[in-house]
Chain A
Amino acid sequence: MMSVLEWKNVELFELRSINSSGLETIKADITAHCCNFTKTINNTLTSSTTVLCDLDGFVHVIFENDNLRTTSFKCPNSQKPVKLCALTTNHLLTLITQDDADIFSFRIEVYDLKNLMKKEKHACCISTELIRSTSAATFLQAEFMGDQNPNAIFAIGIGFEKGDLLLHFGKISSKVVLNFRRHIIGTGSINGIQFEGNSMVSDIKTYNMFVTCLDGIYCLALNDKGSVEFKSVLDTNKNVDNHCSTISQPIGSESFLVAGRDDAIYCFTRDGDGRGPCYAIGGMKKFISWIGHYLIVVVNTSSDSLVICVDVENKLIVFHQRIKNLICVGSGKGRNSYYIITKAEALNIFMLQEHNTATKVQRLLAKSMYDNTLRLLERSGNANSRNTSYVRLKFGNNLLMRGAVSSAVEEFERTIGLIKPYDIISKLLYSRHNNNLNRYLRNLLKTNHNRTVEQIKLHERCFHRESLSLRIQQFWSSRSHFCDFQQLLVHDNPFLSLVNAQSKSENLISIFQNTEEKEILHFFQEHGREFLAMNSSMLLETLKTLVQNCKIQNILPYLIIFSDLDEFCTNLLVDFSKEQINSDEGLHYYKLLHYLSLWRDKKLSSQTIHKYLKQTPLRLNNTLIICKAFFFKIEPNNPINDDTDQATITCLDTNLKKSKSVAPLLSFPGTKVLYLRNLMVNKFFQNREEAKTDLELIEELRETIQSTNILLSQFTSNPIEFRNSCCDQCRQSLHMPSVYFLCQHSFHMDCIRCNYDTKNCFICDKNIKCNSFINYDKIDSIIPCDIIEEVSNLFASGLVGLKNCKNVSDKVNDKIYNCDPFINNFKNNYKNPFEENYDSNFNCF
């Protein structure tokens, strides 16, 4: 079953053997044991005493002051072995001896062990009595309440098998007169009694007594006047037995009565408000103790005992070991130390002791448990030490790496004065961390810790940078502003700037005011197509404005940039011709070409072209060649300016003769260029089509580049926040160590290691493979030729197998099945590293 043992495990305790304790000579079986500890005002233990009673009737007392000392004595009044024992903080030892044959009577003896502490050989018996009972005694507890107060109370509680209890509750004197009163508590055997000082009510001191039976937990109110009142039932549970109990240290503002049951350890509020937390540690509990933040649990197993120490506040397993032949666990003198006594042939004593702070910090840091380390340091009173600051620095770096910048800076701020500011500032210099750097510097400068001029300047810069972004935002939001050409070049979206500037033509001109025509050309070569895609009319207006203001003298390169856009080029040329009356003749032909393209696309009438031909001084031979290329017939009465013979068009272009493919043909006698007309026309059309295809391809590639750039900018400008709570492989909650991929898939490191060797996200890898399979090429290869059937199959392939296409859909399904990472994992006998914890339905057990 999953249990508290799933928590992070850091060994913060060590178990070491103690030699020469004097116990090595004890061979007899131990029949009873108990321990006590005394505290000073600040709650530290000054001494502890453990008592072991053996089958031979000897009582062995182990004192721990500066060293360990064992003294043994035999009870003079009873020859039987001790069955139960209890020790108070003022060293009053209560013993119960009972004959197995006669369970209806037992002897109780009270010894003062102070004599033994003074190295005398015999303990002083201060009271002994033979008492009748209804059943066998099952639990004994003795408590001294009131410290050195003259009205201190000595309480003895004896629990019995039938759920009744004998209680002695009276003031202590040199001779203890035992005065027991019987109380019926429950029906089950009593296995825990806890006394606790409570409060003063009208000069009467009241106490709580918690009684744990097999089937219930009860609270009784006692007072120093001898009154006993039934207060509340904390819990009754007939299904699961209580085995042992203790009182916890406060968790938050509350402390609890803690009961160990088979399935878990349950806490109950002591004022009867109800239940508290529950820690799922399974197994038969032999012993539980709660000191400080640590809960020690001893679980009995068939062959040995499992000793678990849990830091309940930090949810850490700090000690976890199986120990054979365990007799008892008692409190040690030191802070958070315990004795563990085992018996093989003889008694052995071990000390379970918490490591020193340095070792604990080292171990926690080795597991990157920074927050736990800081809590530990705070708990040990080192919250503001230099070492703590180094831990904070490491924690901050770790948080920064994980993207929790704000939390990181919180940690960094707490290192001010102890860690060099450079170590932190250097990590926050990126503009995206500007606010956080500003925050850190503000606090740094407030503290006056060796503030330097550079730090002050940097803070100013930060402030400036912060206000700069605001100003830029305002700048772009108010469109009355305009920028110059250099700003335009560095801006993310230069076209938007142009659009803003377009609202006033003088703005636009002012942008290009001191710009050379060459720079303008470069600018449009780089961004022209992009602008065109966004707003072609605005682009045309921009170019027209530049032409009108003589910023563009040579229009030809611009026509090449937009050569595929006849209408655009024509408009531009029309405008250019108006401005540049003496424009180049070549431009007229260029314009004719675009006119003819528009005529071919039926966007322009032939009259317009004829009109143009009439108005424009063009050479006939050039005009005829161009018009022939577009199959445009020139009207016979068209007055084209030409000084050549109109009867025959003889192509004497020297370039033609230079052509490698045409020149050999012309070398034959009698061959005229005219004979090659058909060939050349065909070739011309072929080339034109190819060029068109190439242009389309270029356009497609340009669009792809554009979309990729947008995607890239999204990646770089938008940090990804990971908040996956569970592993995408095993679907269990993530715990360290884990791997986070940029695609936002996360896995336990074990899941990755166990199943894959790749460093890539295997889900995405598989998806890519799957997607690459479902492309038209592959589907084409497995589907019939009929287009209707093909489309049907495409739809049906993932859903149902069509009547005649079942094979096809099966094939598609098979392929998809093989490509699905999850299905495939199971198919390939995927192994979950935590599978031992689950049943066949993936439920934990």
Chain B
Amino acid sequence: MSYAYLFKYIIIGDTGVGKSCLLLQFTDKRFQPVHDLTIGVEFGARMITIDGKQIKLQIWDTAGQEAFRSITRSYYRGAAGALLVYDITRRETFNHLTTWLEDARQHSNSNMVIMLIGNKSDLDSRREVKKEEGEAFAREHGLVFMETSARTAANVEEAFINTAKEIYEKIQEGVFDINNEANGIKIGQQATPTNPALPGSGGAGGAANSGCC
């Protein structure tokens, strides 16, 4: 299926915070209460529409365990967006956010959009991290924040789509060098670039470079 843009996402965070469940809810619209441990990196894709344009999201769901850090680090570089996930019922997953963020900032491109997600919002009775704390962390580090529930699907779509909107806005503003696929963005056949940073809008050869769908 053809698309205007392809955005690559990476989902990171401690083990057991619900990264795979978020992906499953977003791609398959279902929740699996007992999920096998992610070993390595899992993969999902879905089409969304932003500003009337078809956008393909390719999502890498990474293993949260330290043992896989060397494998998952190699995925940061090609991502345009990252979902940094913690579990609102486990304080330690929130405490580890700084490490994850440092890792992401070190290995990714500087323009990567990072969305901070407090997952399992349906388990409010077991909450250990206040929403205000998440908001404060996001404010402090310049992230977008949202609380989600992969179980009830609350805010799951919004988390992925809002990240895509942020990336799309950055493309429109010319922040992303979309000729460099290492930034996690690929132009499809549908794209009609409107700013000078986009290939085809000014320089020659841009359209020829656009890949197939």
Chains A and B form a bound pair: yes
| A interface residues with partner B (beta carbon < 8 Å) | 1-4, 6-8, 232, 237, 251-254, 263-264, 267, 269, 271-280, 315, 404, 723, 725-726, 733-736, 843-845
Q: Chain B residues near A271 (CB, 8 Å)?
A: 211-213
Query: In this assembly, does B123 line the interface, its C-beta being within 8 Å of a C-beta of chain A?
Result: yes
Cβ-defined partner of A8 (8 Å) among B16, B36, B70: B36
A276 lies within 8 A of B43 (CB): yes
Given A237-B74, A404-B33, do A280 and B15 touch, yes or no (CB 8 Å)? no
Per the bound structure, the CA–CA distance linking A404 and B33 in Å amounts to 10
Q: List 20 A-B contacts (CB under 8 A).
A: A6-B39, A7-B37, A251-B43, A263-B71, A264-B40, A267-B43, A272-B211, A273-B6, A273-B211, A274-B8, A277-B41, A277-B43, A278-B41, A278-B75, A280-B68, A404-B33, A725-B16, A725-B18, A733-B37, A735-B37
Total B residues in contact with A, Cβ cutoff 8 Å: 35
Interface pair A263/B70, CB less than 8 Å apart: yes
Q: Is B65 an interface residue (CB 8 A)?
A: yes
Decide if the interface of chain B is mainly helix, strand, loop or mixed: mixed
Distance in angstroms from A272 CB to nearest chain B CB is 6
B63 closest partner in A (C-beta): A280
Task: Please list the 5 inter-chain residue pairs (A to B) with the smallest Cβ-Cβ separation, ordered nearest first.
Answer: A844-B67, A278-B41, A280-B40, A278-B40, A277-B43
List chain A residues, Cβ under 8 A from B42.
277
Question: Which of B16, B58, B66, B123 makes the CB contact (< 8 A) with A843?
Answer: B66
Q: A263-B71, A843-B66 are contacts. A3–B39 as well, Cβ < 8 Å?
A: yes
Q: Are the CB atoms of B78 and A275 closer together than 8 Å?
A: yes
Interface residues of B (CB under 8 A from A): 6, 8, 15-16, 18, 33-34, 36-37, 39-45, 58, 60, 63, 65-68, 70-71, 74-75, 78, 123, 151, 181, 186, 211-213
Write out the residue numbers on chain B whose beta carbons fall within 8 Å of the beta carbon of A844.
65-67
Residue contact B123 to A723, C-beta cutoff 8 Å: yes
B160 to chain A, nearest CB (A): 17
Q: A723 and B33 in contact (CB under 8 A), knowing A271-B211, A280-B63?
A: yes
Interface-centre pick from A7, A237, A264, A725 (highest chain B CB count, 10 A): A725
Tell me the dominant secondary structure on chain A's binding face. loop
Cβ-neighbour of A274 out of B44, B65, B68, B181 (below 8 A):
B181
Contacts of B16 in A (CB 8 A): 725-726, 733
Residues of A with C-beta under 8 A to B8: 274
Closest to B61 in A: A277
In contact, B39 and A279 (Cβ under 8 angstroms):
yes
Nearest CB of A to B43, in Å: 4
Please indicate which of the listed interface residues B33, B78, B213 has the most CB atoms of chain A within 10 Å of its own CB. B33
Please determine whether A280 and B71 come into contact, CB atoms closer than 8 angstroms: yes
Contacts of B68 in A (CB 8 A): 2, 280
Distance between Cα atoms of A126 and B78 in the complex (Å): 48
Option from A1, A6, A267 in Cβ contact (under 8 Å) with B37:
A6
> Is the Cβ of B39 less than 8 Å from the Cβ of A4?
yes
- CA distance in complex: A4, B6 (Å): 29
The residue that B67 contacts in the complex, of A2, A267, A404, A734, with Cβ under 8 A, is A2
- Asked if B67 contacts A275 (CB within 8 A), the reply is no
Most interface-central of B43, B44, B78, B123 (chain A CB within 10 A): B43
Closest residue on chain A to residue B1 by CB atoms: A253
Give the residue name and chain of the A residue nearest to B27 (CB): A252
Across the interface, do A2 and B65 meet the contact criterion of CB distance under 8 Å?
yes
- The answer to whether A735 and B36 touch across the interface, beta carbons within 8 angstroms, is yes
Q: Note all chain B residues with C-beta closer than 8 A to A1.
A: 67
Set of chain B residues within 8 Å of A723, measured between Cβ atoms: 33, 123, 151
Q: Residue of A at shortest CB range from B18? A: A725
Q: Please give, as numbers and ranges, the residues of chain B lying within 8 Å of A315 by CB-CB distance.
A: 36
Q: Most A CB atoms within 10 A — which of B63, B66, B213?
A: B66
Q: Are A845 and B67 in contact (CB under 8 A)?
A: yes
B26 → A minimal CB distance (Å): 14
Question: Distance in Å from the Cβ of A593 to the closest Cβ of chain B?
Answer: 52
CA distance A736 to B74 in the complex (A): 32
CA–CA, A844 to B39, complex, Å? 12
Contacts of A8 in B (CB 8 A): 36
Find out whether the CB atom of A254 lies under 8 angstroms from the CB atom of B45.
Answer: yes
- The residue among A1, A276, A734, A735 with the most chain B CB atoms within 10 A of its own CB is A276
* A504 → B minimal CB distance (Å): 41
Indicate the member of B6, B16, B39, B212 with the most A CB atoms within 10 Å. Answer: B39
Q: Which residues of A contact B39 (CB under 8 A)?
A: 2-4, 6-7, 279-280
Extra inter-chain contacts (10) besides given A275-B43, A278-B40, CB under 8 Å: A2-B65, A2-B67, A7-B36, A232-B211, A275-B75, A278-B41, A280-B39, A725-B18, A726-B16, A735-B36
